[in-house]
Every structure is written in C-alpha cells, then in structure tokens.
Amino acid sequence: MKYIIKISLSSLITRKSKTAVTVLGLTLSVALIVIVCAFCLGLADAQWNILKMDHTSWGFEGDELIQRISQDSDMILVIGICVLFTSIAVAGAAIAMYNTLSVSLAEKARTLSVLSTLGAKTAHKAALLFFDALWVSLIAIPLGFGVGIAAVRPLVGVLNELFSAEYGVTDVVPFLHGTPLPFALSVVALSLMTVTAASIRPALRLFGSTAVEIARSAYRINVSFKKSPLDKLMIKKFGITGSLASCNYTNNKHRYRQLSLSVSLSSLILVLFSLMVRYMTGNGVSIDGDPIAKKFYFTVVAVILLIFAVSFLSAFCILYVSFNKRKGEFAMLKSMGTEDGMLYRMVLLEAVYYGIYMLMFILIGAMVIDCTLYYFISMNDPGTVFIYPFAEIGMAFGAVTVVTVILSVFMTATVKKTNIINELKKTF
C-alpha cells in the first residue's frame, strides 16, 4: 500500500498546475456550500428568534412555543426559500466537484493501464484513486471553509446589525457568537459526502474497463455518430468546422451536459431571487423609503452575486483542466494543416452547444423553482397571483451567454498557445 501512496503523491506533484487547478475547483465548490449554508442558516435563525419573541410575549412557553413557531406560515416560507437556495447551491457544487474529479481521475487512465499490465488488483487501483481524491480533499475542504467564512461573514454581520436594530435579535448565525463547532463539523461532513459521491462514478467507470480500454480511453475519438438536427445544421452551415465541433460534442457529450448544468444551476439562483422580489412586490411589499429593507435587499444581492461568481470560477477551473487535456487533439489537427482560424470557429461552435444545453436547463429549472416558490408563498397568502418567469429566464440566459462568451475566448486562447511538437511528444 505504501507504494500506491508514493505513486499517488508523485503523480500529484508532477502535475503541479493541474493539481492546483483541481484543488482550486474543489475549494470554490466547498466555499459555495459554506456561503449558502451560513446565509440561509442566518435567515432561518433570525426568523425563529423574531417569532420566539412575539409568541413569548403572547404567553406561550416550552413545547407549545416550539410547536407554534414551527407551524407559523412565515417560518415555513423562510425555511422553504432557504431549502430552495441550499438545494440549488449544493447541487451545483456537487456537479462542479464531479466534473473536476472526473477530469482529474480520467488523466489517471495511463497510470491505471500500466498498473493493470503489471498485475495490480482492483483494490490497488481503487486505493490509488482514493488517495488522489483524499489528498486534494484534505487541502480543498479546509481552504474552502476558510474562503467561504471570510466571504460571508461580513454579509451576515450586516444582517445581524439589521435584525438587531429592528427586532433586538443578536444571534443571527451561531458561528458568529461562540458556537462555531457544530456548523463547521456539519459543513465539513457535507463537503466530504459530496466529494465522496462525486468521485465514485468516474472511479467505477475506470474499474469497469480493461487495461487496453483504459489505455485507449484518453485519446479515443469517435467520428461515426448519429447526427441530430443540430449536428446537421452545423455541418450544413459551417462545413468541416461544424463537423469537427459535432464530433467533439459527441466525444465529450457527458462533460458538456455536466458543465452546462453546473453553470445553469448558478444562474437559477438569480432566477429564484428575482422571483422572490416580484412576488413580494405583487403582495404590496416595497423597499422604497425603508432604509433597513433596502439594506437587507442589497445584502442579499451581494450574496447572490458572490455565489454566481464562485460558481463561474469553479466552471472555469473545470474547463481549464478539460481543455488542457485536449491540447494533444489540437496539436494533431494543426499538424494535419488545420489553420488557427478553423480551430477558433470549431471551439466557438462548441460553445454554442454549451449555450443550448444551458438554455434547456434554465427553462426547466425556472419553471420548477417558480411553482415551488408559488406553493410556499400561497400557503402564507392564498391570494397570491402566479407569476410566469419569462423575464427571469431571459435574465438568466443573458448571464449565461456572457459566461459562454468568456469561456469561448478562453478556449480560443488555449488553441492559440498549443505547441504542436511539444504536445505530440506528450501524447505519443
């Protein structure tokens, strides 16, 4: 087993830049979980304390007090919204972790192939992948927790001031007032479970392959595939460039969908916040002329933008690792006489596939969020009118389009920097 540990550490040290990007991607995902959990916990805790003061003044105590607060419609609404926020964020973080670890573990294909030919058993290969995930997790989880706390603490502090000034509530979030251990352990446990779940599937995929299949998997390219209407349109309009983009999409279909889903989930947080504001406005709630409500509104906006920024950086890390792995493919195409302009058009067309999947996920997610949010709000106010999320879908798709353009610029820069000779040496 000590040799497996040495191989794992040696591999991580040898691939310093890729290891650093993998750690950064996991760190940002953990930070996303910390930010959302801390902020939502703060809102729920503040609402609980406010209702506790109200019901205590009415003479309720003990179990009856807890029961009354638990059944309060405002408490149910706040918990429902917090659950929505947390579910979207944790799902996005889990998918980002899965993508990061999937690309990282896929690069172990050659090492696993060599171990298989030397007679290594499944237990040895499992141990190698386990220690790879363990080392990066031991670095990423503490870093992510620290980054998340550093980012969200000032914002939660603003909430604490607002609720203290309005209601006299001081303990908005437990870790701010002397009880950090339960929150820290809960977030670390959630992060560990997420990392473990994210690393199982790519590992099982490698275990189910023979030594020859593992060796070929890193450079396998499928050029024979069933063309979809979109593929046919790409090929008709852009010729060989569209054909190459369609082939790349087919060979990396799973990764396209996962990355698109990860970015789409981040944009759905914007959708949820915008819908909340529209429903509140529709029910007669206004922040104009109320400095506390206005400050609370801008604090929530800051949290949402922070979450979106962290998610985008995480997606960027995934794409960086993925495209660095494809440098050998770009070098091969260049060696066959493919011009840079054609490669640029190819990666830009690949970005179109990203955008189409993102739009599809946003359409479905926005409707699910809207119906769920309407359900919780209508429980509190049966007269609430259902709002169709067309404006939110347009806003989210606009944000995703900007992200897609930025990613496209990065992809073309990666193609431009590819050195044919050096990359072909690494590949063969």
Three-state secondary structure call for residue 333: helix
For residue 214 the two structure tokens come to 């593992």
Residue-wise pLDDT for 333-348, tens only, equals 777 777 777 877 887 7
Mean pLDDT for all residues in the chain: 75
Residue 344 CB-density burial (10 A; 0-12 exposed, 13-18 middle, 19+ buried)? middle
Domain boundaries, the chain: 1-218, 219-428
H or E stretch covering 118: none
- In this structure, the number of other CB atoms found within 10 A of the CB of residue 418 comes to 21
Q: How far is CA 214 from each of CA 1, 18, 254, 291, rounded to the nearest angstrom?
A: 22, 20, 18, 61
Distance CA 323, CA 304 (A): 28
Picking from 59-63, 186-190, 250-254, 334-338, which range would have the lowest pLDDT averaged per residue?
Answer: 250-254
Residue 203: phi, psi to the nearest 5?
Answer: -65, -45
Q: At residue 84, does pLDDT exceed 80?
A: yes
Residue-wise pLDDT for 255-303, tens only, equals 667 777 777 887 888 788 888 878 877 766 666 666 767 777 787 777 7
Q: How confident is the model at residue 178 (pLDDT cuts 50, 70, 90)?
A: low
Phi-psi region of 53 (alpha: psi -120 to 50; beta: other; left: phi over 0): alpha
Quote the pLDDT of residue 264.
82
- Closest C-alpha among 397, 353, 400 to residue 231: 353
Quote the pLDDT of residue 171.
62
Distance CA 43, CA 155 (A): 12
Q: How far is CA 44 from each of CA 40, 189, 284, 331, rounded to the nearest angstrom?
A: 6, 21, 23, 53
Helices (H) and strands (E) in the chain, counts: 16, 0
Query: Burial letters for 5-41: b for 16+ Cβ neighbours within 10 Å, e otherwise?
Result: eebbeebbeebeebbebbbbbbbbbbbbbbbbbbbbb
% of the chain surpassing 70 pLDDT: 74
Residue-wise pLDDT for 28-41, tens only, equals 888 888 888 888 88
At 234, which amino acid appears? M
DSSP 268-329: HHHHHHHHHHHHHHHTT---TT-HHHHHHHHHHHHHHHHHHHHHHHHHHHHHHHHHHHTHHH
Q: At residue 363, does pLDDT exceed 80?
A: yes
Q: At residue 75, does pLDDT exceed 80?
A: yes
Total residue count of the chain as it appears in this document? 428
- Closest C-alpha among 413, 247, 406, 241 to residue 339: 241
Give the mean pLDDT of 2-6: 73
Quote the pLDDT of residue 205.
63
The three-point CA angle 352-331-416 to 5° equals 60
Distance CA 134, CA 196 (A): 9
Residue-wise pLDDT for 88-130, tens only, equals 888 877 777 777 776 666 566 667 667 667 776 767 777 777 7
Quote the pLDDT of residue 173.
63
Q: Are 317 and 216 in contact (CB under 8 A)?
A: no
Distance CA 408, CA 416 (A): 12
Quote the pLDDT of residue 402.
77
Give the mean pLDDT of 162-177: 66
Quote the pLDDT of residue 286.
65
